[in-house]
Structure 1
Amino acid sequence: MSRAVAQAIERREALVVEAGTGVGKTFAYLVPTLLSGSRALVSTATKSLQDQLYLRDLPRLVEVLGAPLRLALLKGRSSYLCLHRMKEARQGAVFPDRRTAMQLARIERWAQGTASGDFAEMDGLDDRSPIIPIVSSTRENCLGSECPDWRSCYVVKARREAMEADVVVVNHHLFFADIALRDSQVAELLPSVDIAIFDEAHQLAEAGVQFLGTMLGSAQLLDFARDLLGQGLVAARGLQDWQGLHTRLERAARELRLAAAGPLATAGRELRGQLKLGWRERDLVTTLGELAEVLALALEALAAVEDASPDFQRLQERAQLLRETALAFATEPAAENVRWIDVGPQHVRLVESPLDIRAAMREQLDAAPRAWVFTSATLGDDEQLSWFTESAGLQDARVLRVGSPFDYASHARLYVPRGFPKPSEPEHGPSVALLASRLARALGGRTFVLTTTLRNLQVVADGLREYFEQAGDALQVLQQGTAPKRALLQRFREQPASVLVGSATFWEGIDVPGDALQCVIIDKLPFPPPNDPLVEARVRRLEAEGRNAFADYFVAEAAIALKQGAGRLIRTETDQGLLVICDPRMAGMNYGRRLRAALPPMTPLDTEAEARAWLGMLDEQRAPRAAHQNDAGSGAR
């Protein structure tokens, strides 16, 4: 892989690499990049992976290679403290609750000592906290060079360091936000680099689809209403009815949520995660028209005081953009795009986006000759990696598949229970819970159950608790949603006699090496939901092209998701474990052979007795190792 990356750098060509677990793909692309002496942009999927690259992997390699390179980390605006908005918040912000006000005080204390202004430095600050939009900037509300804190701005500092660095670490969201909005300086940075690398590239398409479209959300409107009231009271108190405007905007946001969510709006806390609704399922024309009228009133009020503060000019621009977006959503969508409604527990978003990132990526690839490297452990289930290359417009790129060096045949087993209820049958969920309870008991915990839906998650978690209680087992059930993801994983590692039940966010990016996790159970084949508006649009396009949508889309998507879920099991060359897929279609349908071939070459088991015997053996092997480690620890003390 490293040689292939070096050739791509030398030839200024595009390379797509699928590298199995244990290959060491991070070093495989970083070493030739650092040795090339060329300027590079490295993009990864999440901010936590950015931090890992910037704080751990890159410094280690730079030191070992003796390469005198300057490194920089660049995140989106919402990752950095805005000093101006922090000061404004202290004077006039409207806080949703007392806890948010207390968090402001904590941020103010931290601000006195931070050099980067990156919220990631603060332990325990959730990036979904309501304080973050209050004390960070957006493209719409940033005052630019007119800001009184411009010289001390952390975003400006991060961008300046990025422009001066030899290697810059960004994330996919930032990359596409910049393509769409020209708002992160990647647009200026990209022409100056010779190498662009995308790690965790399997997430690239979805990140792009989010940012290459248009979005209008109730949270956006509430943020605008809060900023309007706060700035009005600070800089133009008594000149306009700011409280009345704030109330009307809040009501308009609430009406949008009620109209878009429909009956789901009353579900409240029962609704977990995001649901996608088809655009035609709701009639929003009247609501959007009323919203545009309220925003027109806000524009009038802001125009009357625009000279009082630069913040009012930015608020005007935001009001104008929100109004234009509301009116655009009141008309028909563009023919080449798909439109849908995201419904969450608290907010809704109206989204219109392209079906994929082909056009955007082709524009970037054709702009100038440079090396492009795209890599992940899962990019397809065929030799051309067409699942990824088609959606990213990279059919002409060189493709390389590098298998994992791990001995899966010796260290891992695959069990697909025969005669198991079908996923469509009501007893399927309880049967998954019953089987999981027996397998977890044989292993003494150390088990993940990955579900394809939040509904299944609840059914399986409840069933496990019931079975463990009936049997008098001391095994604990850790359930997604009951605590933050990081806290659940920490408890799972510290309390091995437990079963963690998780959905989408636990299928990838989770690393639990060693004996702590030795059984992964998947409830059913992870096909995309057929009623998802984005899925429906992609299926229509494939059928219009005369292709088989089930084989070319549904099975391909399931293969990728299955590989991601199965990848949680074996994380090092000494790991051992059992993968269970509770879906009889895996064994009985023709496409099951294709899905099995997409998995690492694990040794198949035919019966539950064999599966429990394998887990029992792993449990017996683990006990002496644990005792040895305890003895070694006692000796060291």
Structure 2
Amino acid sequence: MNADAGAAVPALVQQVRAAFAEGGVLAQAADHYRPRQGQIDMAEAVARTIADGGALVVEAGTGVGKTFSYLVPALLSGERVLVSTATKTLQDQLFGRDLPRLRDALGLAPRAALLKGRSSYLCLHRMRQAGQTLAREETAAWRTLTAVQHWATATRTGDLAELAGLDERSPVTPLVSSTRENCLGSDCPDFQACHVYRARREAMAADVVVVNHHLFFADMAMRESGMAELLPTVRVAIFDEAHQLNETGVQFLGQQLGTGQLLDFVRDALATVRPLAGGLVDWQAELEPVERNARDLRMLAGPAAPGTRLRWLGQAPEGLDVNEWADTLQALAAALQRLCGWLEGVAAMSPDLARLHARAAALVERVAQFAAVGADGVVRWVDVGLQLRLVEAPLSIGSAVQAQLLQQPGRAYVFTSATLGDDPGLHWFTEPCGLEQAEILRVDSPFDYARQAALYVPRNLPKPADAAHGGAVAALVADAARRLGGRTLVLTTTLRALRNIGQALQAQLQGQLEVLVQGQMARQRILDRFREGGQGGASGCVLVASASFWEGVDVPGDALQLVVIDKLPFPPPNDPLVEARAQQIEQAGGSAFKEYFLAEAAVALKQGAGRLIRRESDRGVLVVGDTRLVQMGYGKRLRAALPPMRQLQDEAEFLQALEALGPTRPSTTDRLWA
């Protein structure tokens, strides 16, 4: 911290006030800017934290303008700043739109850099390998690879997001990008032109570096060059979308082993050893047992719905035969160990073979770890999908945050999101993140929710546990969507409800409205279609979604006027991580339901409701298809977590509100929305 920090506090705060004032630089740079007290309060708190050091946690409601609230003081401070986001979408928005606008408005010229994980960048070496090994008979993949090769001659950044036809689900993506395991580092023949290391060099020289939480925690866990080098030189770190920090950190600070990871290793190994050491060993015969045992491991779990998690409290995951599980892991370990011996003998022949040997040795260690009994203080589970993923994770990131972030005197940390808890202390966020001593600031949304939005809880719906509940929700949505001409987002709490409600709506609205269902096309494409369709009155859309669509979805204006949440979003009690956290609270003498389940539901409900009103001119209705919200005692706490919308008492009021919103609605002076 600067020696004159005491004088810097009022100076920086004064600069921030001037920037946000009416007639200030922000007002001069933006035609529609007007001062908002909540935004100014947050900006001043961020400025004080930057000057003094310490940790600040800010919950800033929708519409506050929190991005400018932290970027303006960060840029005016002249400090080196790290900004971390939960999503690549916000990361790209910050770097490509918000930072350039503010730099121009403030008349500053800080160097900014965008830094993503390895898998987001083109690897020239692996692209060349893919061109040599990918069969031309694989027509679609070959066309995609050809497009990548053509783009590679023109791109400066190597960011795969520049390629519109390529996403993370493409089978070509892992062939043309690197991972920590297969990267050759400085031994790579393309090291000087490497897009990953070029991005990291630019980040080391930049004044503002924009990263994402996944990269932040991955590098923290591995202490790899990148964040490990960057963090010590940055005095100010800002975490936006901070509500995802704990869950992201838990995944990366633990250990994982996936059958997909093993199969990728086998594929890469065959592509590497054949041209470099093909005649020395029957590599196909040595790799076949690794592939077979990886597939056997997946088969042990049998068929399962995507997203299934199996508890793992004893020697094997719940429902799996202990002996079969142990035997398969042992056979996998033996196959890897034998392969590792062969690779050690050829490792000196090339950097590719040396890296392959290191990967094999790391897999041997990881299999041995999961074959042994789990350590104290962690929870284990198995994710079941097309592949099997073995996970061992801490229950929270609190100790890691304390050890890695908050032990440096004078450093400034800002954590912000629209949703961080449902109590004044924001304990839902601060406790698992080890931030109980941080300064807390809550800034309310500037929206007039009582005028702009209404809440409706249908009293006649079946109970959520009733098999008829999903069909009843679909029927309600179908009728309401017809009245609105689409403009409807349905958020489900489970993938089963997503499928059931989605299928029912597609059947009921066929030929009338387009029903978009998550998973039937890429996320961005489905959102673009919803926004476009929702603007066309009779050609409007209904979107049925779950999981990631509860947050980060921004559809302002008439395109979205009805949000329906199928039931209260309590975390699944049989989820291994949820169960372990609940047990920890109970063992400490607390109430898992009050301290954990209700808090989680309140935050999720608040996030889902936040999709409805995105601008001061928006109008809409939120429907929660769960009578517990009004009939159970704890419903009061959950309703308090929602924005202060007016409540519709019965179906007649609900239909009247829809009529006022619909394609033939009266003028905006209608008494319902005046």
Question: What TM-score, normalized by structure 1, do the two folds share?
Answer: 0.94
Aligned 8 A contact 1:566 1:579 in 2: yes
With over 3 angstroms needed to count, the CA separation of the structure-2 counterparts of 1:491 and 1:563, relative to structure 1, is same
1:379-394 matched pairs, under 5 angstroms = 379-394=420-435
* Cα distance between partner residues in 2 of 1:622 and 1:235: 71
User: Which of these residues, 507, 510, 515, is aligned with residue 558 of structure 2?
Assistant: 515
User: Which of these residues, 570, 578, 582, is aligned with residue 613 of structure 2?
Assistant: 570
Aligned 8 A contact 2:461 2:473 in 1: no
User: Which of these residues, 194, 197, 219, is aligned with residue 238 of structure 2?
Assistant: 197
Letter in 2 for 1:338: V
With over 3 angstroms needed to count, the CA separation of the structure-2 counterparts of 1:95 and 1:192, relative to structure 1, is farther
Name the counterpart of 1:368.
408
- CA shift digits 1:201-229 (9 cap, x unpaired): 00101110110001000111011101110
1:556 CA displacement: 0.3
1:506 paired with 2:568, answer no
Letter in 1 for 2:529: R
1:465-614 matched pairs, under 5 angstroms = 465-469=506-510, 474-496=512-534, 497-614=540-657
- CA shift digits 1:186-205 (9 cap, x unpaired): 11111111100000000101
* Cα distance between partner residues in 1 of 2:137 and 2:299: 20
State, as a whole percentage, how many aligned pairs show the same letter. 58
Letter in 2 for 1:487: R
1:115 CA displacement: 0.6
With over 3 angstroms needed to count, the CA separation of the structure-2 counterparts of 1:389 and 1:478, relative to structure 1, is same
- CA shift digits 1:418-447 (9 cap, x unpaired): 132110111111110111112112212110
1:353 paired with 2:393, answer yes
Name the counterpart of 2:307.
274
* Cα distance between partner residues in 2 of 1:94 and 1:164: 41
User: Which of these residues, 482, 495, 505, is aligned with residue 464 of structure 1?
Assistant: 505
1:184 CA displacement: 5.1
With over 3 angstroms needed to count, the CA separation of the structure-2 counterparts of 1:97 and 1:210, relative to structure 1, is farther
1:462 CA displacement: 2.2
1:20 paired with 2:58, answer no
1:312 paired with 2:353, answer yes
* Cα distance between partner residues in 1 of 2:281 and 2:326: 29
Letter in 2 for 1:614: A
Letter in 2 for 1:557: E
Name the counterpart of 1:409.
450
Aligned 8 A contact 2:134 2:142 in 1: no
Letter in 1 for 2:159: D
Query: Secondary structure, in 3 states, of the residue corresponding to 1:590?
Result: coil
- CA shift digits 1:124-168 (9 cap, x unpaired): 211222222222122222111111111111111111100000000
* Cα distance between partner residues in 2 of 1:479 and 1:616: 25
Q: After superposing the two structures, state which structure 1 stretch, 431-440 or 406-415, moved more.
A: 431-440
Runs of 5+ consecutive residues of structure 1 not aligned to the other structure:
265-270, 626-637
Letter in 2 for 1:436: V
* Cα distance between partner residues in 2 of 1:23 and 1:125: 35
Query: Secondary structure, in 3 states, of the residue corresponding to 1:393?
Result: coil
* Cα distance between partner residues in 2 of 1:601 and 1:95: 59
* Cα distance between partner residues in 2 of 1:468 and 1:119: 37
With over 3 angstroms needed to count, the CA separation of the structure-2 counterparts of 1:110 and 1:11, relative to structure 1, is same
Aligned 8 A contact 1:226 1:246 in 2: no
Aligned 8 A contact 2:570 2:601 in 1: yes
* Cα distance between partner residues in 1 of 2:477 and 2:101: 41
Aligned 8 A contact 1:94 1:226 in 2: no
- CA shift digits 1:53-103 (9 cap, x unpaired): 000000110111011200001111111111111112222357994422322
Runs of 5+ consecutive residues of structure 2 not aligned to the other structure:
1-41, 535-539, 669-674
Aligned 8 A contact 1:92 1:233 in 2: no
With over 3 angstroms needed to count, the CA separation of the structure-2 counterparts of 1:100 and 1:184, relative to structure 1, is farther
Q: After superposing the two structures, state which structure 1 stretch, 107-116 or 130-139, moved more.
A: 130-139
1:304 CA displacement: 2.3
User: Which of these residues, 296, 299, 323, is aligned with residue 337 of structure 2?
Assistant: 296
With over 3 angstroms needed to count, the CA separation of the structure-2 counterparts of 1:406 and 1:518, relative to structure 1, is same
1:305 CA displacement: 1.5
- CA shift digits 1:440-496 (9 cap, x unpaired): 122121101111111111221222233335xxx612211111111111112212222
1:183 CA displacement: 2.7
1:616 paired with 2:659, answer yes
Name the counterpart of 2:463.
422
- CA shift digits 1:291-320 (9 cap, x unpaired): 011101211221221222111111111101
1:214-363 matched pairs, under 5 angstroms = 214-259=255-300, 261-264=301-304, 271=305, 273-279=306-312, 280-281=317-318, 282=320, 283=322, 284-344=325-385, 346-363=386-403
Aligned 8 A contact 2:485 2:663 in 1: no
* Cα distance between partner residues in 1 of 2:177 and 2:88: 16
Aligned 8 A contact 1:191 1:368 in 2: no
1:8 paired with 2:40, answer no
Q: After superposing the two structures, state which structure 1 stretch, 514-523 or 611-620, moved more.
A: 611-620
Query: Secondary structure, in 3 states, of the residue corresponding to 2:309?
Result: strand
1:262 CA displacement: 2.9
- CA shift digits 1:33-70 (9 cap, x unpaired): 00000010000011121111000000110111011200
Aligned 8 A contact 2:126 2:175 in 1: yes
With over 3 angstroms needed to count, the CA separation of the structure-2 counterparts of 1:96 and 1:278, relative to structure 1, is farther
Aligned 8 A contact 1:20 1:403 in 2: yes
With over 3 angstroms needed to count, the CA separation of the structure-2 counterparts of 1:75 and 1:184, relative to structure 1, is farther
Letter in 2 for 1:482: Q
Name the counterpart of 2:186.
145
1:118 paired with 2:151, answer no
Aligned 8 A contact 1:257 1:347 in 2: yes
* Cα distance between partner residues in 1 of 2:507 and 2:274: 55
User: Which of these residues, 82, 85, 104, is aligned with residue 145 of structure 2?
Assistant: 104
* Cα distance between partner residues in 2 of 1:396 and 1:66: 36
Name the counterpart of 1:629.
none
Aligned 8 A contact 1:76 1:184 in 2: no
1:512 CA displacement: 0.5
Aligned 8 A contact 2:343 2:353 in 1: yes
* Cα distance between partner residues in 1 of 2:509 and 2:169: 34
* Cα distance between partner residues in 1 of 2:181 and 2:405: 29
Aligned 8 A contact 2:266 2:290 in 1: yes
User: Which of these residues, 218, 242, 248, is aligned with residue 207 of structure 1?
Assistant: 248
Letter in 2 for 1:230: A
Aligned-pair Cα RMSD in Å: 1.5
Letter in 1 for 2:290: L
Query: Secondary structure, in 3 states, of the residue corresponding to 1:262?
Result: coil
Q: After superposing the two structures, state which structure 1 stretch, 238-247 or 203-212, moved more.
A: 238-247
